[in-house]
Structure 1
């Protein structure tokens, strides 16, 4: 039975307001979310799932509303916790850290989690989603690192190099036959 998962990486988000959980989208991020709605509203998506982080929910919110669906929030799909207390890290600190973490999967900063811990959390949740929504089309509002770890579990080409080529937002349509990944297509054109 075929199941389709639409990985929707969140749009551009300001790093000057709130914290990792509460920061929303920039004006460009909101504009891109409207484009996502146009791109995906005819796909016949049955279920909308998101990380609890505001920017992930906001990226798929209009799309879900346009087809009369609610968004189910899964706490386990939160972004990789890079540092404690939901602190926002500047990109010039974050990118070298991400590279180190992918090279050393058990490394973490104080209060943060390692790639290994995050992968176990999100892959288990993703496999449950595949089982629970078998035969359906599911959109997941997600984050770059988490998306890469979930996709990489099924196909090793989705690794750090892949993550570094993704955009905000981004969309990948994954086709599964039962729990086997058959094909992945990038739908976002930046």
Structure 2
């Protein structure tokens, strides 16, 4: 039975230290919400879930309202926790740390979550979503790193190089037969 997942990477968000859960969207990010909604409103989506982080919720909230679907927040879809709150990483070192974590899935900065741990929790959440919504179409409000890790679980080609070419927002349509990925199509056009 075919089930379709729409991975909706959140729109552009201002980076503010210590504000991961609550930071919203930039003016450009807010402008893209309407485009996301227009692109997905006629896809026949039955269910919408999201990371609890505000930027992910805000990116799919208008779609949920347009389709009159209750938006469900799922904690295990949150973005990867890169480092402990007391560990400050300079911007010029951040991308190197992310790249290192894709080369070694058990690598992490002090106090952070490994790619392996993030992938395990997010794929478990995705498995539940797929099991509870067989034959349906589900939009997931997500983040770049966690989205890439979920996609990588099914196909190794989704790694660091894929992550750095994604945009904010971005949308990938993933088609499944039970828990087997049968196709991926990028829907977002900048």
Asked whether the two chains share a fold, i.e. TM above 0.5, the reply is yes
1:108 corresponds in structure 2 to 108
Measured against aligned partners, the alpha-carbon deviations of 1:1-24 in whole angstroms (never above 9, x if no partner) come to: 110000000010001376111100
Q: Closer, same or farther in 2 for the Cα pair 1:84/1:185, shift >3 Å?
A: same
Q: More deviation in 117-126 or 9-18? A: 9-18
Secondary structure of the 2:167 match is coil
Q: Closer, same or farther in 2 for the Cα pair 1:178/1:20, shift >3 Å?
A: same
Secondary structure of the 1:172 match is strand
Is the contact made by 1:41 and 1:66 (CA closer than 8 Å) also made in structure 2?
yes
1:162 corresponds in structure 2 to 162
Secondary structure of the 2:59 match is helix
Structure 1 residue 87 displacement after superposition: 8.0
Secondary structure of the 1:49 match is strand
State how 1:122-133 maps to structure 2 within 5 Å: 122-133=122-133
Q: Give structure 2 stretches of 5+ with no counterpart.
A: none
1:39 corresponds in structure 2 to 39
Q: Give structure 1 stretches of 5+ with no counterpart.
A: none
Is the contact made by 1:108 and 1:114 (CA closer than 8 Å) also made in structure 2?
yes
State how 1:75-114 maps to structure 2 within 5 Å: 75-85=75-85, 91-114=91-114
CA distance in 2, matches of 1:87, 1:36: 35
Measured against aligned partners, the alpha-carbon deviations of 1:17-60 in whole angstroms (never above 9, x if no partner) come to: 76111100001101111100010101111000000100000000
Q: How many residues align?
A: 190
1:22 corresponds in structure 2 to 22
CA distance in 1, matches of 2:88, 2:37: 28
Is the contact made by 1:4 and 1:175 (CA closer than 8 Å) also made in structure 2?
yes
TM-score, normalising length from structure 2? 0.95
Is the contact made by 2:97 and 2:109 (CA closer than 8 Å) also made in structure 1?
no
CA distance in 2, matches of 1:90, 1:139: 33
CA distance in 1, matches of 2:23, 2:29: 12
1:121 corresponds in structure 2 to 121
Q: More deviation in 123-132 or 50-59? A: 123-132
TM-score, normalising length from structure 1? 0.95
1:73 corresponds in structure 2 to 73
Q: More deviation in 99-108 or 74-83? A: 99-108
Measured against aligned partners, the alpha-carbon deviations of 1:99-153 in whole angstroms (never above 9, x if no partner) come to: 1111121111222111111111111111111111111100000000100011111
